[in-house]
Structure 1
Amino acid sequence: MSQVDKLHDITSELYELAQQPPKATDREEFIETLTGLLEQRDKLIEGLEGPYTDEERQKGQEIIRMNSVVDERVAIHMKQLKTEIAHMKKRKTSNQKYTNPYQSVSTYDGMFLDKKK
């Protein structure tokens, strides 16, 4: 199996993985699988050498097409994860304020300092 065939197989796996949104319970597994496939693909891309046959060029065009879809979908998934992380942080601070409402009250609240001599 040539490097282009291996690259095509890994890119098609990435394509299939990126098409389905990650479930809330499987998020870590999804990210680990995605990262592993991307690293494998990077190593294969570094090892590519020409010249290529017509079949390999055709597979290369298909890889480019799938890669654009993978990039879009991964960007969408990352944006969703970032917003979800922001919501979790906001919920955490709200819960902390609810359990200890006087945590952030200033000690100088209501105090007057006279500077006249």
Structure 2
Amino acid sequence: MSQVDQLHDITSELYELSQQPPKATEREEFVEKLTGLLEQRERLIEGLEGPYTDEEREKGQEVIRMNKVVNERVSIHMKQLKTEIAHMKKRKTSNQKYTNPYQSVSSYDGMFLDKKK
């Protein structure tokens, strides 16, 4: 199997993976699998050498088309994950404020400081 065929297989696997939004319980697995496939694809791209046959050129064009879709889908998934993380952080701080409402109040409030000696 040539490197172009391997690249095509990995890109098609990425394409299939990116089409399905990750479930809440499977996010970590999704991100790990995604990064693993992206690293494999990067290594294959760095090792590509050429001249290419007509069949390899066609597969290369298909890889380029799939790559555009993969990039768009992955960026959408990552934006969703970032917003969910931001919501979780906000929820955490609001829960902390609810359990300890006087945590952020300055300790000098209501105190009299005598400046004379």
TM-score (norm. length: structure 1): 0.94
Deviations 1:8-46, CA, capped at 9 Å, x for gaps: 000000000000000000000000000000000001001
Please provide the CA RMSD for this pair: 1.4
Question: Which position in structure 1 is the counterpart of 2:85?
Answer: 85
Work out the CA distance in 1 between the residues paired with 2:18 and 2:75: 10
Work out the CA distance in 2 between the residues paired with 1:107 and 1:52: 73
Letter in 2 for 1:69: V
Letter in 2 for 1:104: S
The ranges of structure 1 where at least 4 consecutive aligned residues each deviate by more than 2 angstroms after the TM superposition are 110-115
CA shift for structure 1 position 110: 3.6
Establish whether residue 21 from structure 1 lines up as the match of residue 41 from structure 2. no
Of stretches 83-92 and 99-108 in structure 1, the one that deviates more from structure 2 is 99-108
Deviations 1:39-66, CA, capped at 9 Å, x for gaps: 0000100110000000000000000000
Between the two proteins, the alignment pairs up a number of residues equal to 116
Structure 1 residues without counterparts, runs of 5 or longer: none
Structure 2 residues without counterparts, runs of 5 or longer: none
Work out the CA distance in 2 between the residues paired with 1:103 and 1:114: 25
Letter in 1 for 2:88: M
